[in-house]
Each structure stands twice: as C-alpha cells, then as structure tokens.
Structure 1
Amino acid sequence: MEELIKLSKLVTAYLSNNGLITQEKKQNSKEGLFITNLKNGKYLSDTEAAKDLYNSDANDVRYKMLKHRLKRKLYSSLYFIDYNKVKWPDHLQKEQECISLIHHAHILKNEFEYNLVENLANKILAIALQYSFTDLQITALELKALSYSELGLVKKYYKVVDELEEALIKKQYEREALTLFQTFNLKLKKSVKTRREFLPELLKIIDRLEELWSLGKTFSLFQSYYRVYIGYHEQQGNFSKLVDITLDAVKLVEEGVINPNRFNLSFNNYILVYAHLRASNLQNGLKYAEMYLPLYPQSSPNWFAYMENYFLLAVHAKQYELGQLLLQKVFDNTSFSRILTTAKERWKLYQLYFRLVAPNKSFYKDRNNPYLLSLPEYSKDKQGFNVAILILQFIYFLENGDAEALLYRIESLKKYILTHLKDVFSLRSKLFLKLLMLTVTEDFNPKSCEIKGAKILEKLQEAPTPGDAFAEIEIIPYEHLWEIILRILHERENKV
C-alpha cells in the first residue's frame, strides 16, 4: 500500500496531460476512484481500500487484480512525467531526456534500424558532452560503435572506439571517486565518535580524490573531491579552507573548467557565506551575503537557511541595525509558517538572543517568554542548542534578579559540564559556563567578576573554533555575551 500511495501522489502531481492515469481518471472507474482516494490519503491499508471499493477484504480477487493493474499503470505513467511540473534542475531534466532517447535507440537497434540509432546516439552524445554525463557519453558511443560496425563504416568505427576507450578510463576514475565519497558520506551518518575516528583517514582520501580529479578532469570527479574536502575541513574547523575552495570553485566555473550546467552555485554560495561566519571573516562575509541573497527565492527553504548565516554574520559583526532588519524580514515572510519546525525554533531562539542587543526594544513585546524556561530535548550525539538555551535561561534569571534560581542553576551547570563538555571541541562553551558560575560565586559583583574572570576570558579568546559537527552554536559570540552580562551586573548594582 505504501508503494501505491507514493506512486499515486507522484504521478498525479507531475503527470503530463497525455498520461495513462490522466486518461483513466476521466472515466468514472474503480481505478480512477482508487487513485483519487490514495492521493487524498483516504486509504492507509489494503483492508480499508478493499472495504471501501468492494465491501470486501484485502484477499478479494477483484481487489488484488485492481491493485496489480493500477500499480502497472502507475509505473508506466512515469514515462509521461512533465519535468517542468517537477521543477527539477535543468541538468536532471536533460539526463532524463537522454535516458528516454536511449530507450528509443534500443528499440530501433532491435529492429536493425542502425541509421536511426546513430541519429539518436548523436543527440545523446551532444547532451552528455554539454552536461558532463560520462556514463551517458559511454552509452552513446557504444551505440555509435554498434551502428558503424553493422553499417561497415570503418573510419568512423575506429574513431568512436578511441573516444570510447578514453571515456571508459574517465568512468573508472569516477567510479573510484564515487566509492570514496559514498564511504565518507556513510561515515558522516554515524555517531560523533565514529566520525572523529574516521577523520585521520580522510586526508588520504582527499589526496586520492584530488589526484583523480587532475587525471580525469570531469565534473563528477571534481564534485566528489569538492564535497569530501568541504566535509573534512568543516569537521576539523578549518573554515578558511572552505572559503578558499568555494572561491576557487566560482573561478573554475567562470573559466569553464567546471561544468556550469551541473555545478550547484546556490550550495557553493551558502557554504562560502557560512565559512566566512565560522572563520570570523565577518566584513567579507557580509559582502558576499548581500551579494548572493537575490539569487534565493524568498519563498524557498533555502532562503531561510541562507538568512541564518547572514543574520549571524551581522550579529557577530555588531551590526545590530542590519541584524534587526534581517530578523524582521524573516518573521514578515509569509512562507515562514511552512518551514520545518526545527528551523522555526532556531529563529525564535535567535530572536530571543537578539533581544539582548536589539537597537529597537519595542520589537520584543514578550520579554518573559516561557520558551526561556524550557529545555528542549536534542540529540545526545550532537548537542546543538542545549548550551545556547542554558545560557539564555541564566541571563533571563540574572536580568530578573532571581538569585535563588541562579543558585539552583549553578549545580545544573556543573553537572552539564561534567557530563557533556568533556571534549576539546566543547572548550569554549565550558569556559563560558564557568564565567556564568563566577557571577554567582562572586555575589554578582561586577568589578570582582571582571577581575577574576579575566584569565578565563583570555583562555576563551585563545580557544580554537571547533568543527561544525561538534560545536555548540554561538548566536552571540561568548566574548560579546560576557560584555552584556557585566553590563547587566553593573545595572543591577546601581539599582541596589
């Protein structure tokens, strides 16, 4: 049933007007009713469908035959998918076009129409070369070699065979590179511990991928090298390396070394801006963020993801007027309600943090947001926003002068440090939580906190930026947060 539900939704959403299922739905038939109800989510099991359609059970022969017939038609209807409706990137549509042409060519080959096969092979080859599809290039050359052999065209045959040998060597390189990339990708889906253990092996993999790219110079070879290189240096916290490779990639695309029809500039721009943020190259990051923002449709999830980095760049650079403008744009965007719940929670957390530095406080009507008092459950393997929420809760009670709640949180912070912040990549968070505890042990005395916190602050400033896989997010840099906390302490002292 799950297979039918998925197929029915796909086919009915993206089918062209001449599709088999479209024609069937025009008739008041069992098949038309079945597919409509599947698409609308009426049936979750065979039992429900059989009961509704035949007032019987799932073992009814009539239902089984209907289900078999519909499944066959749904798969056949995939031939009639309208790629404009799917809104696939251009290169995926062209790849699918080649696959359709190959299907036609094999039918003609079996009918011994070799001149027609050659014509289709030339069309396939032209698209394959334009979009750097090595596997499709090989198929096209194989079809041409077969045609020339059968037609007795000696010179053309040997020329194609030479081209085919060259393409096969490149495909061999691509197969090795893809295996290395897939191994890397598989390891990334494991635990943080497994990823850390795998990191030393990655240098050898990156070197081999770079070597393969230099040998074959195909898009797929570059893509495997590019993704693994980014993944490794992101894990290691070498964000300046990410800046280098993303800028190099743009240059290679402009020079035509990397196929512009296949390269994902949106992803590259996202990583470029993100890398500037994590490398604390804030002014250049803001320049690129502004430059590339118009390339992202405001209704797309990618726009919201891109805006996160843009907003954080503004906050880290203390450009709070810009930060407030960006935050307002996000919450005013009518598509905000459609983004993932996790993304909404991040934006709400950003908004609560920005309250601490916002130039226009009227934007924050509900200062006593109950969200501050709850600690959502996140993956134990990737701490995510736990520290960010703990810090925000602490500042909330500090602003409200709730000494009792702060004393209680001292013990919670100590336990959290011992349990979750034992690794090197947690050093910055660990040091900042110690600064928070210092405010309580020094009885909220701003001068004493500033003096005794100086050594901890110095260690914090010297601590390396951790890699993305292990890092707690700093919505406002810890150094800036410490300035805010000292200011709160001074205000508290002046009120007494």
Structure 2
Amino acid sequence: MVEIVLFMEEIKALVRITADDNNVNLLFPQANKNNKEGMLYQNLLTDVYSDDAIASKDLYNSHPNDVKYKMLKHRLKKKLYNNLFFFDYSKQKLKKAHQKEQECIHLLHHAHLLLRLYERDIALNLTSKVKSIAKDYEYINYLIDALELEMTNFSDKGDLTKYNSAREELEYYLYIKKYEREAITLFQLLRIQLKKSVKSRRGNLLTFEEDLVRLKLLWQKTKSYETFNAYYKANIIYHEMTGDFSSIVDLTVHSEELLQAGQVNKIRFDADFNKYILVYAHLRAKKLERGLKYAAEFLYAFEEDNPNWFAYMENYFLLALYTRNYLLVETLLHKVFNNPSFKKQQGAAKERWTLYQAYFLLLNSTVANFNNSINPFLLSLPEYSKDKQGFNVAILILQFIHYLQKKDTEALLYRIESLKKYILTHLKETFSLRSKTFLKLLILTVTEDYDAKSSRTKGQKLYQKLVEAPTPGDAFAEIEIVPYEHLWDHILFILENKYQ
C-alpha cells in the first residue's frame, strides 16, 4: 500500500512540474475518453483523482492493483520523465546560475553519447562549451567531467600534447574539488546537527567553532565559490545559534565588499539571500533604524508572487513594529494580506501573519478595538504546542493581555497558573531568561491585584533583569514579536487606564 501511495505522489509531482510546459501538449494531443493516459494526466492536474482508488475506479472500473491501471501509470510516468529532457528551464523562475547548471548537464549528456558513437569532434565541441560555462560559474564537477571526456577523446586520437594539457588542467581542478568536497561535507554535517535537540546543538558549539576555522582555511586555500559559500553559511548558522547577530551583520557587509572586489563569484553568489540576512541580522542585533532603511532599500529585489517575498516582509514588518512606526506596520500588513499569493502560503506562515496582525491591533489604539479584533483561534490554543514552537510564549502573552484588556479576572487567575507551569516545564535554560522574566512580570500584575503603581515598583528588579538579559540565539529562543520592554509599558498603560 505504501509503495502505491508513493508511486501516485511521484506522478502527481511530475504532473505539477510539467503543467506549464508546452511540450506536454505534444505528449497528449487527444486528452479524451479514448486516451486514458491523457485522462489520467488531466485529472491529476485538476485534482479530480486524489488517490489510486478513485482513479482506477473511474478509468477501468477496477481497483488500484489492477494490471491495466498499473501499466497505465507506468507509461505515463515514463513519458513525463522523458519530457524532463526537453524541459524549458528559462521559462521557470530559476536563477540564471541554475539554468546554466542544467545546460552543462544536458551538454555533457550529449557529449557522452556522441563519444560512444565515435563522433569525437562533435563531442569535443560540446565539452568546450561546458568548460566555458563551468569556468564562468565555477561548476567544478562539470569541468572535471568535461576534461575527463576530452582526455578519453585525445587518447583515442593519439594526440599527446592536447592530452597532457587536459591532464594538467584536470589535476588542478581535482585539487580544488578535494577541498570543496570537504567544505561542503562539513557544512552539511553542521546542518544535520541543527535538526537535533536544543541540548545536543548547544553541546556541539565547541566542535562547531573548530569546523569554522577549518572552513575558513579551505576557502583561503582554494578561493573557490563553493568553499566560500560553505564558510559563509556556516558562519550565519553559528552566530545565529550563539545570538551574535552583530557578527552576522558584519559578515553580510563584508561579503558584499568581497563581491565588489571580485573575490567572490558574482554570478553564483546569492545576493538576494545576503540582502535578506542583512535585514534579519539588523532586526535581531537591535540595529533597528538602519535595518529599517535596508529593508525599504532592498524590497525591490523580491518579487511579490515569490514565497521569499513573504519571508522578507516578516523582517520588514517586525523592524517597523519594533520602532513603533505603526503607520508603516499597517501599510505592510495591508500589502501582505492583499497579496494574491498569500492564500497559497503554508498554514504555519499564514498563522504567523495572523499573530503579527493581532499584536499590531493590540498596540495600536487608533485601529479597531483589540478586544473585538483578536482571531478566536489564538484564544483557544493550548498552553504548549509543538507545531507552534518558537511562538508559544508570544501566544500566551497575547492571550493574557487580551483578558487583561477585558478585565476578565477569572480567566487571568487561570492564566497565571498556566504561566507558572509553562515556566517550570519549558523555560529552564539560560537562553529562555528573557521570556521567563517577562512571564513573571505578567504574573506579578495579578498578584499585585492589577495595581499599576505597585506592579511598576515591585516589578522594577525583574524589569532591569529583562533589560540586561542577553539576546539568545535564534536556534533556541522564543520569538519576541514585540520587544518585552514595549509590552511591559503597554501593560502598565492598561492597568493605569482600566483598573484605577
């Protein structure tokens, strides 16, 4: 049963990929009742067939294990895979570098075939094109493959001079590839460690430092794009884990300088990613005004129908919220929720934006009353939910302030017990200090019977502890949608105006 499901998902994926490709029309010129391949393709494309049972029943009035149905799927899958050879990558939203990579792969495929057919001169013409592209884009793998084909060709021809020239070039790129492979492997292992528990990640920080030193050495040895990319991205991960966001700011700025100086491959380097990280790092390093300036400056680089645009807008929105620029916040929210592609975003992304909107309504008294605007799903969420990891504290705080605004003391008494339990269970580590301290301030408002003056006075030590607490690494921390210092000001404002 599992194999059948996977097989159906494989075909569905191929159908989605080829949906906008003109070549598919040539595959199924008669998508009608007499052409079952065409029917299967069209009905998968339009989600008429959600599983094998429905498809086999409709096409053959049979079951998924029917031989005729299995053979039909096999033929369709084979045609769709063959069609990938003619896939027009230029019409897809792929970066130029990725399109050129595919071009190298296709040229090498043809060169290998032609060499086997003894069309040596044509094969050499193709390897020459591969080498030209691969050198520009620093695709060492394809350079090595092209040079090996050339050596085979020159050996067959008995051309020693050209053979030795290709061999020397190959040895140089094999040297580069050796260190590139080591750098890529180190980076991949670091990424795997990020999938582990928080305790495990923290325990690996010392080894991580040693790996960064090695990655820098590999980059200095080769000056190749792949070694730089591994070093660059590993640095971002490490400084994110340690909470050193100022170093990420420095890294992104330095990377731009290296790019302009020609020390990093301009056509391979992901300049848009660097812009995204630069804005994100300014947010987390609390360099807010400068971050806001960069966010506005670089917005042009992200197309509004691309998921990356929404990710970028999250940082832009939070920078505006942190600087209390509520007019800009409202404008950004309007742009996001009115973007036609918003409904296509993942469920988690949509929920984050709902949470962001709720915080904006909470803080901006000029907008519709918060009590009437909070999304009901935020109030009914449990005290702890793994699928909301990173936002659990934000949701708890939002719920608490909602009931504080409503003067629902019974709900607040229940909430403080939940907060105490949450602190004891989930906020034990040092990187949770800010969240733990702020939740204690919330509890204090209830124990002080909602008295603003008493809460301010008795909460001063906790507040100072909050201010002095270091910014935790993003790999460990709960996200502060609004700085806790700002939220404390707002809570005192509520107490002064609603409970006196």
What amino acid sits opposite 2:451 in the alignment?
N
Q: Is the 8 A contact 2:243 2:472 kept in 1?
A: yes
Asked if 1:413 is matched to 2:433, the reply is: no
Asked if 1:182 is matched to 2:188, the reply is: yes
Residue 214 of structure 2 is matched in structure 1 by 208
| CA spacing shift, 1:45–1:383, aligned 2, 3 Å | closer
- CA shift for structure 1 position 314: 1.5
Q: State the alpha-carbon separation in 2 of the partners of residues 332 and 50 from structure 1.
A: 40
Residue 351 of structure 2 is matched in structure 1 by 345
Aligned match for 1:474, one of 474, 480, 485: 480
What amino acid sits opposite 2:296 in the alignment?
E
Alignment of 1:96-495 (within 5 A): 96-358=102-364, 360-362=366-368, 366-367=372-373, 369-375=375-381, 379-380=385-386, 383-494=389-500
Q: State the alpha-carbon separation in 2 of the partners of residues 277 and 167 from structure 1.
A: 41
Q: What is the CA RMSD across the aligned residues, in angstroms?
A: 2.4
Which piece of structure 1 moves more, 6-15 or 406-415?
6-15
Which piece of structure 1 moves more, 307-316 or 80-89?
80-89
| CA spacing shift, 1:62–1:412, aligned 2, 3 Å | closer
Q: State the alpha-carbon separation in 1 of the partners of residues 275 and 20 from structure 2.
A: 30
Asked if 1:90 is matched to 2:90, the reply is: no
Q: State the alpha-carbon separation in 2 of the partners of residues 338 and 209 from structure 1.
A: 38
| CA spacing shift, 1:45–1:355, aligned 2, 3 Å | closer
What amino acid sits opposite 1:80 in the alignment?
F
- CA shift for structure 1 position 3: 5.2
Structure 1, residues 112-171: CA drift from partner, whole Å, max 9, x if none?
222222111110001101111000011111122222333333333222211110100111
**SS of alignment partner, residue 356 of structure 1:** helix
Q: State the alpha-carbon separation in 2 of the partners of residues 61 and 401 from structure 1.
A: 67
Which residues of structure 2 form unaligned runs of 5+?
Answer: 1-6
| CA spacing shift, 1:219–1:27, aligned 2, 3 Å | farther
Q: State the alpha-carbon separation in 1 of the partners of residues 458 and 190 from structure 2.
A: 45
Q: Is the 8 A contact 1:14 1:83 kept in 2?
A: no
Which piece of structure 1 moves more, 146-155 or 88-97?
146-155
Structure 1, residues 427-482: CA drift from partner, whole Å, max 9, x if none?
00111111111112222222221111111111111101111121111111111111
What amino acid sits opposite 2:77 in the alignment?
K
Q: State the alpha-carbon separation in 1 of the partners of residues 374 and 110 from structure 2.
A: 66
Q: Is the 8 A contact 1:16 1:80 kept in 2?
A: no
Q: State the alpha-carbon separation in 2 of the partners of residues 7 and 476 from structure 1.
A: 40
Q: Is the 8 A contact 2:19 2:45 kept in 1?
A: no
Q: Is the 8 A contact 2:279 2:294 kept in 1?
A: yes
TM-score, normalised via structure 2 length = 0.92
Q: Is the 8 A contact 1:375 1:386 kept in 2?
A: no
- CA shift for structure 1 position 208: 0.9
Q: State the alpha-carbon separation in 1 of the partners of residues 245 and 153 from structure 2.
A: 52
Q: Is the 8 A contact 1:5 1:39 kept in 2?
A: no
Which piece of structure 1 moves more, 227-236 or 439-448?
439-448
Q: State the alpha-carbon separation in 2 of the partners of residues 448 and 413 from structure 1.
A: 21
| CA spacing shift, 1:147–1:18, aligned 2, 3 Å | farther
| CA spacing shift, 1:254–1:363, aligned 2, 3 Å | farther
| CA spacing shift, 1:137–1:224, aligned 2, 3 Å | same
- CA shift for structure 1 position 103: 1.2
Identity of aligned residues (%): 54
Which residues of structure 1 form unaligned runs of 5+?
Answer: none
Q: Is the 8 A contact 1:378 1:384 kept in 2?
A: no
Aligned match for 1:70, one of 76, 81, 84: 76
Q: Is the 8 A contact 2:383 2:396 kept in 1?
A: no
**SS of alignment partner, residue 307 of structure 1:** helix
Residue 4 of structure 2 is matched in structure 1 by none
Residue 37 of structure 1 is matched in structure 2 by 43
| CA spacing shift, 1:298–1:45, aligned 2, 3 Å | closer
| CA spacing shift, 1:298–1:66, aligned 2, 3 Å | closer
**SS of alignment partner, residue 19 of structure 2:** helix
Q: State the alpha-carbon separation in 2 of the partners of residues 126 and 4 from structure 1.
A: 35
- CA shift for structure 1 position 91: 1.4
| CA spacing shift, 1:156–1:346, aligned 2, 3 Å | same
| CA spacing shift, 1:254–1:314, aligned 2, 3 Å | same
Structure 1, residues 209-245: CA drift from partner, whole Å, max 9, x if none?
1111111111111111111111111111111111111
- CA shift for structure 1 position 50: 4.0
| CA spacing shift, 1:68–1:207, aligned 2, 3 Å | same
What amino acid sits opposite 2:222 in the alignment?
G
Query: Aligned residues, how many?
Result: 494
